[in-house]
Chain A
Amino acid sequence: MIKILQRLVFYVVAIFLALCINFLIPRLMPGDPMNMIFARFQGQMSPEAIAGLRQAMGFTDASMASQFLHYFTSILQGNFGVSTSLFPARVGDVIWQSLGWTVLLAGVSLLVSFSCGTVLGALAAWRRGSWIDRVLTPALIFIGSFPYFWLAMLLVYIFAYLVEWFPIGHAYSDGSKPAWTFAFFVDVMRHLFLPALSIVLATIGGWILSMRNAMVSVLGSEFINLAHCKGLSDRVVLVRYAMRNALLPNITGLGMAVGYVLAGSMLTEIVFSYPGQGYLLVQAVRNQDYPLMQGLFFCITLAVLLANWMVDLAYYWLDPRTRGQNI
C-alpha cells in the first residue's frame, strides 16, 4: 500500500514538472513569447484585443511566481488556453473532440501488437530454431526499424493506391454520418485497418523479442524442469508455468509503450489524414499554434502517466512478490 502511494506521489510530481515545462518553455525563449504565439494575428487584431488575450493567457508583467500561480489555477480549472489556429476555440475542447479517434487507433494497435507479439515471442522461445524463431522474428524486427509513418506510406501506396482494397485516408467515408449502426461500424473498421496495421507491424517485433528473452530465462529455471518431470503436458507447462512468469517484464513495458505508440500514432495519423491528435498536431505545427502543441504534450503526458499507474496497479495484483514487503 505504501509503495502504491509512493508511486502516486511520483506521478503527481511528474505531472507538476510537465506543467512547469509548459510554463517555462515560452518564457525562457528569447523575445516576447506573446509576439511569437500571436504572430499570425499581427495586423488583424487591435492592440487592445491582443492586450486582452495577453491578460487572459497569463503573459503579464507580473512576477514569475504570480504568473505561475495564475497559470496553475487556470490549468486546474481545465483551461489550457486558446488555440491560435482555430481561434477562438479553447485548446481543451479541440483536443477533447479528436481524442476518441486517437484512443481508438492507438488502443486497438497496442492491444493487437501486445497480445500477438507476446504469444509469438513465447512460441519462438518454446521452439527455438523453428520458423517463428528463425524467420518471422528477425523479419518483424527488421520491419520494426522503419519509422511508423514510413510503413504507413508504403501500406497506403500498396493497399490503397495500387490495389485499392482499403480507403486512402480519413476515419470514415465522406458520405456517412457517425451513428451507432452496423454499416458505420464496418466503415470505421475498414478505415482503421491500414493505420492500425502500420503501427502493429512497427511495434510487434519489440514485443516478440522481449517476450522471447524473458521466456528463455524462465525456461532455464528449475520449476520448469520440475513441471516437465511431473509429467505435465507441454501445453500446461507453456501456458500456466512459463508464459505467466515471462509476461511480467512485458507488462512493465506496456506502460512505457503507451507513450511511444501515442506519439507514433500521431505521425501515422498524418499520413492517413486520420482526424485524431496527430492531425491536430500537424495543424498546430504548420500554423505555429503553440498553445495547442503544449496542450497536446500535456494531454499525452497525462495519458502516459495514467497508463503507467495502471500498470503499477496491475503488477501489484499479478505478482504476489511485490505485495510481500512494505505492507
Chain B
Amino acid sequence: MTLLRTLVRQSPFHRAMRDYPASLLGLACLLLLGLGSVLLLPFIGDPRDFIAEPLLGPSTVYWFGTNGQGQDVWRQTVAGTASSLGLAFATGMSMTVIGALIGLIAGYTGSWIDKILSYATNIALVIPGLPLAIVLAAFLPSGPWSLYIVLVVTGWAWTARVFRGLALSLRSKDFVLAAALAGESRLRIVSFELLPNLLASFASSAIGATIYAIGAQVGLEFLGLGDMNRVSWGTNLYWASNDAALLTGSWWIFVPTGLCIALACSALTLVSYAVDAVNNPSLRAEQVLNKRLRDPLRRAIGVTPLAKEIRHALNA
C-alpha cells in the first residue's frame, strides 16, 4: 500500500497536478460530468418520453423545463452528456493511437516510407476537416459508428505530425543509439525505449483530439448528420434550433447543453496544462519559481534565480 502511494506520489503526473491546482479542478469537473452522467443514467428514465406540455420553463417539477416536443430537458442533458462524452473519448483515443502510429512509423523508419507518410499527413492537415466530415457523414449510413469513422478519418493528422517530430528527435538520442548498438531489436527499442518517453505527449495529443471530437461531433449533429434518434449534445441543439427555441425565447432548451460542452472542453484544456508541464519540465520550473518568489520566507532561503526571471516573476 505504502509502495503504491510512493509510486503515485513520485509519478510526474502527480507532481504536475500538485503544481497546477487548476488542472486538478479540471480533472474533478471531467469526473463529475462523466461519472455523474453515467451514474444518473439509470435513474432518470427515458429522455425521449413525452412527459409534459412543450416549452415549459424551469420549475421545481421539471428542473430544466421541457423542450419543444414536451421532453424533459434535464433528462436530455444527462443522457446527452453521457453519450457525447463517451463517443468523444473513444474517438479521441482512436484518433491519437492511429495518428501516433503513423507519425512514429514515419519518423522512426525514415527513408521513402517517411516521405510518403509525411506528405500524406501534410495534405490531410491542409484539407479542411469539418467540410470533409460533412460530406463523409452524409454518404455513410447514419449512426454513432459513422460519426466515429468520420471523426477518426478527419482528425488523425495533427497527432501524426507531432509524433513524427518526436520520433525524429528521439531517434538520434544517445540512449536509443546505445540500445541499438547493444543489439536490441527494433520492436524492443520502440516499446521499451521510445514509448515511455512519449506517454506525456500521447496524453496531451489525446486531450486535444478529444476536444476536436467534441466540437466536430456537435457540429455534425447540429447540421442533422448523425443518428437523430440518439440523444446527444448535438441532437439536443439540433432540435432546439428546429423547434424554434430562439423565436419563442426558450433559453432553457439550449443553455444547459452548451454549458456542459464548454465545461467539458475547458476542463480538458485545464488538465492539459499539467500534462504539458510533464512534457516540458521548464514550464513547471517557471511555475515553481513564481510560487517561491511570491513567498518572502522561501525567497530568503530559496533559489537564486537569474535577474530576468526575477523581473518576470515580480511583474506577475
Residues in A lying within 8 Å of B, measured CB to CB: 10-11, 13-14, 17-18, 21-22, 25-26, 29, 36, 127-129, 141-143, 145-147, 149-150, 153-154, 156-157, 161-162, 168, 220, 225, 256, 259-260, 262-264, 267, 270-271, 281-282, 285-286, 288, 290, 293-294, 296-297, 300-301, 304-305, 308
Whole-angstrom distance from the CB of A99 to the nearest CB of chain B? 14
Q: Tell which of A25, A127, A146, A262 touches B136, judged by Cβ atoms closer than 8 Å.
A: A25
- How many residues from B make CB contacts under 8 Å with A? 46
**Do A285 and B308 form a contact, CB below 8 Å, given A297-B135, A300-B131?**
no
> Is B215 an interface residue, CB under 8 A from the partner?
yes
Chain B residue nearest to A30 in the complex (CB): B141
Q: For the complex, give the distance between the alpha carbons of A140 and B262 in Å.
A: 12
A-B contact pairs, 10 of them (CB 8 A): A21-B132, A36-B139, A142-B262, A145-B269, A147-B237, A153-B241, A154-B258, A168-B246, A263-B128, A285-B224
The reply to whether A153 and B246 contact each other, CB–CB distance below 8 Å, is yes
The reply to whether A285 and B225 contact each other, CB–CB distance below 8 Å, is yes
Residues of A within 8 A of B316 (CB): 128-129
Q: Output the residue of B129, B130, B211, B240 with the most chain A CB within 10 A.
A: B130
> Is B255 an interface residue, CB under 8 A from the partner?
yes
> Is B12 an interface residue, CB under 8 A from the partner?
no
Whole-angstrom distance from the CB of A210 to the nearest CB of chain B? 14
> Is B73 an interface residue, CB under 8 A from the partner?
no
**Do A154 and B255 form a contact, CB below 8 Å, given A29-B140, A162-B249?**
yes
**Do A149 and B222 form a contact, CB below 8 Å, given A21-B132, A297-B131, A305-B126?**
yes
The reply to whether B269 and A270 contact each other, CB–CB distance below 8 Å, is no
Q: Tell which of A13, A145, A256, A281 touches B266, judged by Cβ atoms closer than 8 Å.
A: A145
Q: For the complex, give the distance between the alpha carbons of A71 and B129 in Å.
A: 23
The reply to whether A286 and B224 contact each other, CB–CB distance below 8 Å, is yes
> Is B89 an interface residue, CB under 8 A from the partner?
no
Residues of B within 8 A of A142 (CB): 262, 266
> Is B213 an interface residue, CB under 8 A from the partner?
no
Q: For the complex, give the distance between the alpha carbons of A304 and B134 in Å.
A: 16
The reply to whether B218 and A147 contact each other, CB–CB distance below 8 Å, is yes
The reply to whether A282 and B224 contact each other, CB–CB distance below 8 Å, is yes
Residues of A within 8 A of B208 (CB): none
The reply to whether B128 and A293 contact each other, CB–CB distance below 8 Å, is no
Q: For the complex, give the distance between the alpha carbons of A259 and B126 in Å.
A: 9
Residues of B within 8 A of A308 (CB): 126
Q: For the complex, give the distance between the alpha carbons of A26 and B140 in Å.
A: 9
The reply to whether A157 and B223 contact each other, CB–CB distance below 8 Å, is no
* Interface residues of chain B: helix, strand, loop or mixed (majority): helix
**Do A297 and B262 form a contact, CB below 8 Å, given A153-B240, A220-B308, A308-B126?**
no
Residues of B within 8 A of A288 (CB): 138
Q: Output the residue of B135, B211, B249, B308 with the most chain A CB within 10 A.
A: B135
Whole-angstrom distance from the CB of B236 to the nearest CB of chain A? 11
**Do A13 and B237 form a contact, CB below 8 Å, given A145-B261, A146-B261, A286-B224?**
no
Beta-carbon contacts of B95-127 to A below 8 Å, as 1s and 0s?
Answer: 000000000000000000000000100110111
Q: For the complex, give the distance between the alpha carbons of A305 and B241 in Å.
A: 32
Residues of A within 8 A of B246 (CB): 153, 156-157, 161, 168, 271
Q: A21-B135, A161-B246 are in contact. List 17 more A-B contacts (CB 8 A).
A: A10-B123, A14-B123, A18-B127, A25-B139, A26-B139, A128-B312, A128-B316, A147-B218, A150-B262, A153-B254, A157-B249, A157-B251, A267-B223, A271-B241, A285-B223, A296-B131, A300-B128
Whole-angstrom distance from the CB of A265 to the nearest CB of chain B? 11
Q: For the complex, give the distance between the alpha carbons of A116 and B177 in Å.
A: 48
Q: For the complex, give the distance between the alpha carbons of A168 and B255 in Å.
A: 18
Q: For the complex, give the distance between the alpha carbons of A326 and B63 in Å.
A: 66
> Is B265 an interface residue, CB under 8 A from the partner?
yes
Whole-angstrom distance from the CB of A101 to the nearest CB of chain B? 17
Q: For the complex, give the distance between the alpha carbons of A149 and B211 in Å.
A: 16
Q: For the complex, give the distance between the alpha carbons of A111 and B91 in Å.
A: 33
The reply to whether B219 and A149 contact each other, CB–CB distance below 8 Å, is yes
Residues of A within 8 A of B123 (CB): 10, 13-14, 17
Chain A residue nearest to B315 in the complex (CB): A128
Residues of A within 8 A of B136 (CB): 25
Residues of B within 8 A of A225 (CB): 308
The reply to whether B269 and A150 contact each other, CB–CB distance below 8 Å, is no
Residues of B within 8 A of A267 (CB): 219, 222-223
**Do A281 and B132 form a contact, CB below 8 Å, given A25-B139, A146-B258?**
no
Chain A residue nearest to B316 in the complex (CB): A129
Q: For the complex, give the distance between the alpha carbons of A145 and B132 in Å.
A: 22
Whole-angstrom distance from the CB of A15 to the nearest CB of chain B? 9
Residues of A within 8 A of B308 (CB): 220, 225
Chain B residue nearest to A224 in the complex (CB): B308
Q: For the complex, give the distance between the alpha carbons of A263 and B154 in Å.
A: 14
Residues of B within 8 A of A161 (CB): 246-247, 249
Q: For the complex, give the distance between the alpha carbons of A142 and B264 in Å.
A: 11
Q: For the complex, give the distance between the alpha carbons of A17 and B127 in Å.
A: 9
Residues of A within 8 A of B139 (CB): 25-26, 29, 36, 290
Whole-angstrom distance from the CB of B229 to the nearest CB of chain A? 17
Chain A residue nearest to B240 in the complex (CB): A153
Whole-angstrom distance from the CB of B68 to the nearest CB of chain A? 14
Residues of A within 8 A of B222 (CB): 147, 149, 267, 270
Residues of B within 8 A of A297 (CB): 131-132, 134-135
Residues of B within 8 A of A260 (CB): 128, 130
Beta-carbon contacts of B260-274 to A below 8 Å, as 1s and 0s?
Answer: 011001100100000
**Do A293 and B122 form a contact, CB below 8 Å, given A147-B218, A147-B219?**
no
